[in-house]
A and B are shown apart, each in its own frame.
Chain A
Amino acid sequence: MLRGAQAGSKADLEELFRRYWPPAYRAAYFVVHDRAAAEDIAQEAFLSALRALDRFDQRRPFGPWLHRIVVNRAIDWARARALRRELNVEPPDATVSEEFEARDELAAALATLSPERRAVVVLRYVLDYTPGEIALLLDLPRGTVNSRLRRALDELAGEVARD
Chain B
Amino acid sequence: MEVVLITLLNGLVYGMLLFMLASGLTLIFSMMGVLNFAHASIYMIGAYLAYTVSKFVGFFPALIIAPILCGLIGAAIEVWGLRRVHHNGHIAELLFTFGLVFIVQRGVQMVWGMLPMAYRVPPSLDFPLFTLYGGNFPAYRGFMLLVSAAMLLGTWVLLKKTRIGLIIQAALTHPQMVSALGHNVPRVFTIVFAGGCLLAGLAGVIGGNYQTTEPGMADAMGPIVFVVVVFGGLGSLSGCFIASIVMGLIQTIAVVVNYSLNDLIRPLGFTISGDNLLAEILTVPVARIGALLPFAMMILILLFRPRGLLGTRDT
A and B held together in a complex = no
**Interface residue ranges, A against B (CB under 8 Å):** none
